[in-house]
Amino acid sequence: MPETGPTAADWAAAEALIRELPPDGRVLLICHVNPDGDALGSMLGFGLGLRRLGVRRMQATFPGPPEVPEPFRGLPGLDLLVPATEAYPDPDLVICFDAASESRLGELVDRLDTAGAALVLDHHASNTRFGGVHLVDPRAAATSVVAEQLLARFGVPLDAGIAECFYVALTTDTGSFRFDATTPEVHQLAARLLATGIRPGDISRRVFDTRPFGAVRLFGEVLGRARLEPAAAAGRGLVWTWATLDDLARHDQRPYVLEALIDSVRCTAEADVSCVLKQTAPGEWAISMRSKGAVDVSRVAVALGGGGHRFAAGFTGRGAAEEVVAAIRGQLDAALIPTAVG
């Protein structure tokens, strides 16, 4: 897939969709299922920007239960959110955020057909180009980078509310400016966001560094059962662990607390590939995978029905945990990055 961004024609088409909204047109913003900081941050920041442009009838939503993960409950723009069950059935314009494929829109996927027009903002190289108009930039560190560029074309000034949303998105997808996606442009955008007066220390503590004591103990248990397979991925190594619904229940925790687990597992020096299996139903798992550079985990994920980025990807796994890991193991050799071989 070519690593090129939107063309001038794509930007013009996206601008036209917004400029040509009928007076009192209804806009529905949708981000991906199980939303993370970039999904919610890019969507809500863009929604606040549209509001500044005078768009009055607007909803933001995501598929599945309408629960916003605790770390994001302080985000500006949450008043835009409605449960998926209450989302406009036939909006004039639907805008999708951070979703690489239609499957990430869950039960809201029908809006691509019922809406007057569909605009897609994303940064996944694996984006399937669903919907009508695409602003997909695989070079962008986060979907919020694309969202900010579109707002800038309308001359919307960054205020503290928009900035906080986009900052959360940017820090989420760059691992707080640690990943290779952290380009000079990322720091330049961060500087403009911080210039609005937002407080990075408060935001980071809330979003990344706060969890209930029950989650701390749950992490201890789940990390304690991690398995290391040094021979996997042609000797690059695989480390993995799993968390069940019963683990969550015993520690009285909500599923989203598990999103941070992969960051503790991927530290493992002896493994290039790390993986966390998060049970979502009996025999069903949400899989998170990371690589340090030897394996293209998006290839593994796509082969198993999911998607993502080269070094961070996921899919829905079915069966026993051991079976799901066997399926992953079976894809690792084919996903070795050629320059890293030998």
In this structure, the number of other CB atoms found within 10 A of the CB of residue 107 comes to 12
Residue 142 interacts with ligand 5GP (CB under 6 A): yes or no: no
Tell me whether residue 97 or residue 285 sits nearer to Mn ion (CB atom).
97
Tokens read off for 320: 């026993």
128 binds ligand 5GP (CB under 6 A): no
Bridge partners of 240?
A: 227, 275
Percent helix, percent strand, percent coil in the chain, to nearest 5: 45, 20, 40
> What span, in angstroms and rounded, lies between the C-alpha atoms of 76 and 279?
31
Among 18, 60, 87, 100, binds ligand 5GP (CB under 6 A): 100
Instruction: Answer yes or no whether residue 316 interacts with ligand 5GP by CB under 6 A.
Output: yes
Place of tokens 């994001």: 72
CB of 153 to ligand 5GP, least distance (A): 25
3-state secondary structure of 176: coil
Q: Which of 125, 207, 313, 324 binds ligand 5GP (CB under 6 A)?
A: 313
Q: Return residues touching Mn ion (CB under 5 A).
A: 38, 98, 143, 173
Contact with ligand 5GP (CB under 6 A) among 174, 288, 294, 300 = 288
**Structure token pair of residue 176:** 């707080």
- Residue 125 beta carbon to Mn ion: minimum distance, rounded to whole angstroms: 12
* Partner in contact with 63, chosen from Mn ion, ligand 5GP, none, beta carbon below 5 to 8 Å by kind: none
Residue 43, C-beta contacts closer than 8 angstroms, at least 6 positions apart? 29, 30, 31, 35, 60, 62, 97, 98, 147
Kindly state the smallest distance separating residue 2's Cβ from ligand 5GP, in Å.
19
Q: Please name the residue ranges forming H helices in 177-336.
A: 184-194, 200-208, 213-224, 245-250, 261-265, 297-303, 321-332
Q: Is 42 in the site for ligand 5GP (CB under 6 A)?
A: no
- Which of Mn ion, ligand 5GP, none does residue 75 bind (CB under 5 to 8 Å by kind)? none
Q: In the set 51, 104, 111, 266, which binds ligand 5GP (CB under 6 A)?
A: 104
Name the phi and psi angles at 314, rounded to 5: -160, 170
> Which residues share a beta bridge with 7?
none
Closer residue to Mn ion (CB): 286 or 332? 286
The reply to whether 315 sits near ligand 5GP by the rule CB under 6 A is yes
Q: What are phi and psi of 275, to 5 degrees?
A: -155, 135
* 312 part of the interface to ligand 5GP, by CB under 6 A: yes
Q: Which is nearer to ligand 5GP, 244 or 316 (CB)?
A: 316
309 contact, one of Mn ion, ligand 5GP, none, CB 5-8 Å limit per kind = ligand 5GP
Residue 101 CB, shortest distance to ligand 5GP, in Å, is 5
Number of residues that bind ligand 5GP (CB under 6 A): 15
Q: How far is the CB of 314 from ligand 5GP (least distance, A)?
A: 2
The residue nearest ligand 5GP at its CB is 314
- In angstroms and rounded to an integer, the radius of gyration of the C-alpha atoms of the chain is 20
Burial of 267 (0-12, 13-18, 19+ CB in 10 A): exposed
DSSP structural state of residue 92:
S
For the beta carbon of residue 47, count every other beta carbon within 10 angstroms. 26
Q: Do β-strands 312-318 and 284-291 pair in parallel, antiparallel, or remain unpaired?
A: antiparallel
- Residue 101 interacts with ligand 5GP (CB under 6 A): yes or no: yes
Q: Which of Mn ion, ligand 5GP, none has residue 38 at its interface (CB below 5 to 8 Å by kind)?
A: Mn ion
Cβ proximity to ligand 5GP: between 101 and 279 the closer is 101
Whether 14 contacts 117, CB under 8 Å:
no
Residue 174 contacts which entry, Mn ion, ligand 5GP, none (Cβ below 5-8 A, type-dependent): none
List contacts with ligand 5GP (CB under 6 A): 36, 100-101, 104, 262, 288, 306-309, 312-316
